[in-house]
Amino acid sequence: MSVQTVLGDVKAHDLGITLTHEHFNLRFGHFFVKPPENLSTFLEGNITLKNVGYIRQYPYSNKSNLEFYGKEVDDAVLEEMYLFKKSGGGTILENTTHGLDPNVELMKKVMQNTGINVILGTGHYVAGVQNNNTLNETTEQIYKTMLKDLTDGYEEDNSVKAGFIGEVGSSWPMHDFEKRCIEAVGMLQSALNCAVSFHPGRHSKCPWEILRIFSEAGGNINKANMSHLDRTITEEDQLLEFAQLGSYCQFDLFGIETSLYQFNTDIDMPSDAERIKRIKTLINNGKSNKILMSHDIHTKHRLVNFGGHGYSHIINNIIPQMESKGIEKSVIDQITIQNPASWLCSVKV
């Protein structure tokens, strides 16, 4: 079977190691968090050796860090894709959806220049980044936008078609617009049998609510992928209960080693070691076929050129740690190669 990349169909067995939740460009300034008053001077201006340590602790309190677009970022991303390929990477799923301003031309350039497969998602991010016209769209209108992206091509470049739906954003409590989006996604997933990726609001109840709305609209939970479980479902018993629903369980914040989570300080962001432990829990309970991994890079400070871990972190640093913790290579290959391909190769348009 084949999957749809930004340059056309690629055989699923040729995808290789796949990162299922990344960004090359997006506009994230809406999510600026006011810094602690005593640290504000350390969080001003561009990223430097002098302030990058503070920015790692308070990434959403530096305006330049949230400007994840422009030539400097484009060049850094392109350079990193060569590193990703050299490290053994094969495919990137670009999850920048409507409301975050996806850069289709950069995605094409990356694939043309580096040979890395780039698969673009469609859908809408959270209500907070949408304009009033979009917020007032009906379920049918939302459905039609995604259908066009998947079958006819993006408005910005009709030669580029989306290869999956996602990331589809939710807040908590959930906005009416977001509920309509999930309903439209459920209807479209049922019609096309395509892969879907959800961004849950920052509360442990949100993943369940998303899947309830999605399935009631006709969506197949087995083709759904719940992103950001690292910071959403933190208790082992809850994680195992959620995994029983059949959704893919995605741990996509690898590389973030700061426990302070600015968007919800009630949540302690896990370390990479803790992420591996949670993955092992799922493996030991027979769910290795439903695990996905990624970094969700969406700020400058996580790029190599700005002092970050980059898109090759999982390959170069995490996979060796997984092996040292007793996870067999065949299981790691299943998680990083086979699971993404199985989830993706399902569109029947």
Q: Which residue has the tokens 């959930």?
A: 174
Residue 74 is assigned to a ligand binding site:
no
Is 296 annotated in a binding site? The answer is yes
Closest of 308, 187, 170, 310 to residue 228, by C-alpha:
170
228 belongs to an annotated ligand binding site: yes
The C-alpha atoms of residue 163 and residue 118 are separated, in whole angstroms, by 9
Q: What stretches of the chain show up as alpha helix (H) in DSSP?
A: 52-57, 63-66, 71-86, 104-114, 132-135, 139-151, 176-192, 206-216, 229-232, 236-243, 272-284, 313, 319-324, 329-333, 339-344
Q: For residues 303 and 64, what is the distance between their CA atoms, to the nearest angstrom?
A: 13
- Per DSSP, the residues of 251-277 read E--TT----B-TT-TTSBPPPHHHHHH
CB 344 within 8 A of CB 19: no
Backbone angles phi, psi at 244, to 5 degrees: -65, -20
Residue 23 labeled ligand binder: yes
Q: State the binding site for a divalent metal cation.
A: 21, 23, 167, 199, 228, 296
Residue ranges for the known binding site are 21, 23, 167, 199, 228, 296
